[in-house]
Structures are given as C-alpha cells and as structure tokens.
Structure 1
Amino acid sequence: MAGLVVVFDFDKTIIDWDSDNWVVEELGVKDLFTQLLPTMPWNSLMDRMMRELHSRGKTIEDIAECLKKIPLHPNIASAIKSAHAFGCDLRVLSAANEFFIDTILKHHGLMDCFSEINTNPSIIDEQGRLRILPYHDFHSSSHGCTICPPSMCKGLIMEKMQASVAADGKKHKQFIYVGDGAPDFCAGLKLEEGDFLMPRRDFPIWDLISANPLFTKAKIYEWNECDELGAVLLNTVNAFFTENKSRSTDQLVPVDCESQNSSTCLTAHEAFQNALPVPLPRQ
C-alpha cells in the first residue's frame, strides 16, 4: 500500500491560536513582551518571558494549566484520529516549543497519533524554570534561510524528513503539508509532484504562494477556518488513496458530515477534482 506522511504546523493550524501569545497574555507579561519584541529574536524573547514568569512566582504547573485552556476544534481532533487510525504517518513541524506542544497534545489525547514532533527544544533547569532553546543554534551559525526565523528553517527540516522517509526502504511515500505561516511556505517548496500542500487562505503562506505560483510543485488544497480544516484534510487523504488506487472507495477515510462543516464535505472524487489552483498575483 502506498504510504502518506502528513506534516502539520501547530500554532494557527492544529490550534487556532498562537500558543506563545496565549501564555504571554494569560499570565500577564504582555507589556514586557511588547516592549522587548523589537530587540531580540522571537525564540530568545520567549525564553526571556519564561524567566520573567519564574521571577513572578509562576510555576511549570501554572504554565501547563494555562496551555490546557487553549481550545482545540473537535473537527480537527477527529480528523487527526481518523487519519492516524487509517495508517497515515502524522508529524508536527512547528516553531513553537516542545513543552507547549506536548502539553496541549497530551491534554487532548492526541500525542500518540504523532510519530515525530520537530520543534524548538525546551528543558526545565535546576531552578525549575522552563527554558526554550532554538532548534538551530543561530548563535554559532546561521541556517541561511531568509524566509524562516533564525531559530528554525522548516525547509531544512522537511528535507531531513524526506531523506529519512526515503531511507526507510518503503516506496511511494508522499507528503501532505498543512500550515499557515511564511516558514510553512519554505517547507512547502520542498514538496514534490504528487504531494499535497494545504495552505491556510489569507494567511502569510497563501500570500507567498499567490505571489510565487510557479514555485510550488505540490497540488494545493486551501482551507480557512479551523472548523473546515478537518474535512479538507480527510478529503485530501481520500484524494491521495483514490489517485493511487490503493484502496477501494468503501475503504476510504470516513468524513463525518454531521460533525464537519457540510459545505466542505466532498466525496473523494470531488476532492481530487477540486484541487484548487492558486490565483496569480494582482498586477
């Protein structure tokens, strides 16, 4: 059977929020965050905010409880579980951090659905303070990408994932990439013909695709609101198996049209036929 690797961004994709901003606002350090934002890279700033929270008496448990309050749309949770149950290899590629992502996925019972989480590492130091570290050590050398933040180039990580998938000896592995930001465009540029890119419409990734429509080899399936993403994802998975004829139509991933937005509930054939071309940039 042909295999499918589904790679998700996290903030504003799996969750409809930015987890960093959520913690900063909910735990009362937004003013300092805003003040320091122009002076340092985002990853370094979030590490600084964790130090500030620790100095104000906020514990790791306080941060975890704050993260657990971030809503996750039930359609997305259902789609992730369905795709995992059907045998898709699900992974995360996010510029958030390990502690935030792990806490949220575990809280919603989704951690075991993912085979791999690529994100900025985090540790708890000897003082009990959460430390957020860069994926790429940009202090010693730059990754050289002008699209991604200094701490992480998603394109480089996508290439690493593609190489590891190719090295495992399984043939016909293809990718779906789901995201919203400019770094997700960098990851999407690494996709090949036969892969699928699922950009969030009217977000930075969509603007970059629209301005550079010939740069992307993958089929494009757009989505907008999080209540739409679940159905679009499962329709895209179905489109993959329909195109590869590796499953009969009665074995496709079920899309629950009662729980999903009815306007996005398409048959697998319709989903494949409706792969959306990206509009050319406005003159």
Structure 2
Amino acid sequence: MKRCCEGVGLPCLFKGVGMASSQPPKYLLIFDFDETIINENSDDSIIRAAPGQALPEHIRQTFCEGFYNEYMQRVLTYMGDQGVKMGDFKTVYENIPLSPGMPDLFQFLSKNHEVFEIILISDANMFGIECNLRAAGFYSLFRKIFSNPSSFDKRGYFTLGPYHSHKCLDCPANMCKRKILTEYLAERAQEEVEFERVFYVGDGANDFCPSVTLTSADIAFPRKGYPMHRMTQEMENKQPGAFQATVVPWESATEVTRYLQEVLKKC
C-alpha cells in the first residue's frame, strides 16, 4: 500500500518485501536553512554589508506580508546601488554561525551518510546557502538544495528570483515547501528509491506547511518556541490527532542527533 503524494500525503515510505536484509534502511532528512541550520535569518544578516549596516526607511516600508522575496529583490538593488559587491555578501554569509549543536549533528550525519538522504528546502537563496555550507565544510552532505535562484549581473548587482509559482494559500508567493517536498518524493519513488521514514527539521510557518503531510511513521523536529512549533501545538489543541507525525521540539540540534542515534539503534 502506498501513500498518496498529490498534496495531502507522501509517497510510499516502506521497505519492499524481499529486499536484501544487508541493505541499510534509508531515511529522508529535510532541513530548512534560516534559523534552523544557521542561527540567524540570512536575509537580515546581509544588511551588515550595507552602508551603516542599515536600510533606509523608504526601502523598509515596501515590505508586504507574503511577498518577502520581492522585497528582498528591492533590498539587493539598493545595496548594489550603494556599491556592495559579491565579496561583501560572501564574507557575511560565510560568517553566519550555525545553530547550537548543528556542527555535531552534521558530523553524525557524515558518519552515517549511507543511511540518510539529506536535502535542504529554503526560502533564502542558492548563493548564500552555498557560501555558508562550503565555509562550514558541510556542503557535500546534501543531495539536493532547493532555494530561490540568485546570481550577480553584469553590473555586479546581487539578483534574486522566485523559486516557482504555486496555488497554496498558506505560503509565500514564491515558494511552497509542501509542493517541493511532494514532487521530490514522487520523483524519487519513480526512481525506485523508497524511504522508511521522513524527518523534517525546521522552524518557520513555511516549514509547518510540508510537515502536515507527514505520516505517523515520520518525525517533525520544530525549533522550540518558533512558528513551526507553535503551529503544531495549535493544530493539536484544535484538532487532536490531525498532525500525524511525532513532534520532537529542539533548542539545540544535539537533541536531534540523540533522537536519530536512538532510531539507528533500533534498526
């Protein structure tokens, strides 16, 4: 029996009958980036490269809820006008600290890379994520990174685009992580890659959207006290049992490491 992968559930996550017992179990582990892998919001962090490390009021007043990507496009244009170059952005991204316990979690995953398939889904941008993860030494952990496209144009301006369009009413206009995750799982299922369980590590409201599609076999790791955590609590209060995944809040990623270590012991 397979789980639906068209927006309400996830593809089959069980091990096929007759598979060689010598094969290790395979888990899918999904990470968010801002305030999950790193301990800051990288969009806020890059303002440190702006003149006076601040934005003028007329730029800040253009922010509109649900259209943060478009707002950041205007921010980056302003910073380009002020002469901020690729090297300035790169330096900021490379120096954003990882969240507490995250280096230890990544070291653990490096040692158990044959068990976990790891992807990253983030509403930040590809350039910033790559700079940070390469500097930290963990870029190679990730099989795939899904984030907003970014590059530097002929003027040397940092440019940002939307990831995709979607019909989800709960997510920002430029990205629905549920859509990305369900499409990824469907693609992997077509490639005959089956996951026993899915683990999702995040913090924001846009991480709650994909996590509601997880099943009772799966684990959601919301950062304690952040929107994803509050939203899982609110759903459980209003609709007990509606959020199917086991919820394991964390303050330090060391707690995630411990949980995954226990999972592996039971294999």
List aligned pairs for 1:170-189, cutoff 5 A.
Answer: 170-189=193-212
Q: Compare the two structures and name the one with the higher helix fraction.
A: 1
Which secondary structure does the structure 2 equivalent of 1:61 belong to? helix
Match among 94, 105, 122 for residue 94 of structure 1: 122
Partner of 1:118: 146
Partner of 1:78: 104
Q: How many equivalent pairs are there?
A: 235
Q: Which digits, 9 at most, give the CA deviation of each residue in 1:154-175, with x for residues without a partner?
A: 1111101221232232344321
**CA spacing shift, 1:186–1:73, aligned 2, 3 Å:** closer
The letter of the residue matching 2:209 is C
Q: Which digits, 9 at most, give the CA deviation of each residue in 1:155-211, with x for residues without a partner?
A: 111101221232232344321100111110001012122111001121111121111
Q: Which digits, 9 at most, give the CA deviation of each residue in 1:52-94, with x for residues without a partner?
A: 1111111111111122221124731221132132021111111
Q: Which digits, 9 at most, give the CA deviation of each residue in 1:10-62, with x for residues without a partner?
A: 00100110000111244234234422214882101111111111111111111
Partner of 2:12: none
The letter of the residue matching 1:215 is A
The letter of the residue matching 1:99 is F
Q: Distance in 1 between matches of 2:230 and 2:72?
A: 27
The letter of the residue matching 1:177 is Y
List aligned pairs for 1:132-211, cutoff 5 A.
Answer: 132-137=160-165, 143-211=166-234
The letter of the residue matching 1:65 is T
Listed as ranges, the gaps of 5+ residues in structure 1 are: 138-142, 247-283
Q: Distance in 1 between matches of 2:79 and 2:66?
A: 18
The letter of the residue matching 1:41 is F
Which secondary structure does the structure 2 equivalent of 1:95 belong to? coil
Q: Distance in 2 between matches of 1:168 and 1:233?
A: 29
> Is the Cα contact below 8 Å between 2:188 and 2:194 reproduced in 1?
no
Partner of 1:52: 78
Which secondary structure does the structure 2 equivalent of 1:135 belong to? coil
Q: Distance in 2 between matches of 1:56 and 1:90?
A: 38
Q: Distance in 2 between matches of 1:84 and 1:169?
A: 24
Alignment of 1:7 with 2:30, yes or no, is yes
Q: TM-score, normalising length from structure 2?
A: 0.82
> Is the Cα contact below 8 Å between 2:49 and 2:89 reproduced in 1?
no
The letter of the residue matching 2:93 is L
Q: Distance in 2 between matches of 1:40 and 1:13?
A: 20
Listed as ranges, the gaps of 5+ residues in structure 2 are: 1-23
RCO greater where, 1 or 2, for CA within 8 Å and sep 6 or more?
2
State the Cα distance separating 1:123 from its structure 2 match. 1.9
State the Cα distance separating 1:238 from its structure 2 match. 2.2
Q: Which digits, 9 at most, give the CA deviation of each residue in 1:219-252, with x for residues without a partner?
A: 111112xxx21x222222223334xx43xxxxxx
Partner of 1:16: 39
Match among 246, 251, 254 for residue 219 of structure 1: 246
The letter of the residue matching 2:242 is F
Sequence identity percentage: 27
**CA spacing shift, 1:167–1:130, aligned 2, 3 Å:** same
The letter of the residue matching 1:210 is Q
Partner of 1:257: none
- 4+ aligned runs moved over 3 Å, structure 1: 170-173
State the Cα distance separating 1:126 from its structure 2 match. 2.1
Q: Which digits, 9 at most, give the CA deviation of each residue in 1:75-131, with x for residues without a partner?
A: 312211321320211111111111111111111111111111111111222222111
Instruction: Tell which deviates more after alignment, 77-86 or 21-30.
Output: 21-30
Q: Distance in 2 between matches of 1:149 and 1:40?
A: 4
